[in-house]
């Protein structure tokens, strides 16, 4: 998935986290501290609350809905 023209790997590197960890956080499979979420938010140019909202939204999606959302980005 790309975020603002950057790949997950690029965002993860900028945030200082493993790309797979970032994907698991986004999918709601792993919990992250606010400190880690803040780093991710800064890496994509958004707020901590926006990141938390995205995690909440995607964690409640079916796999099909999640794949559709990924294709739209």
Tens digits of residue pLDDT in 29-59:
788 899 999 998 999 888 999 888 877 777 7
Question: Given this model, what pLDDT does residue 2 score?
Answer: 52
- pTM for the whole thing? 0.68
CB 11 within 8 A of CB 22: yes
Cα(43)–Cα(57) distance, rounded to whole angstroms?
20
Token readout for 59 is: 């964690």
Q: Which ranges of 1-73 would DSSP assign to H, the alpha helix?
A: 8-15, 19-26, 34-44, 48-59, 63-72
Nearest 10 degrees: CA dihedral of 66, 70, 71, 73? 140
Cα(44)–Cα(64) distance, rounded to whole angstroms?
25
């Amino acid at each position: 998935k790309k975020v603002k023209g950057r790949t997950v790997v690029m965002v993860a590197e900028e945030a200082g986290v493993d790309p797979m960890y970032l994907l698991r956080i986004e999918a709601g499979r792993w919990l992250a501290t606010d400190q880690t979420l803040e780093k991710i938010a800064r890496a994509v140019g958004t707020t901590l609350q926006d990141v938390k909202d995205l995690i909440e939204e995607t964690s409640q999606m079916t796999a099909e809905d999640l794949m559709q959302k990924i294709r739209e980005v």
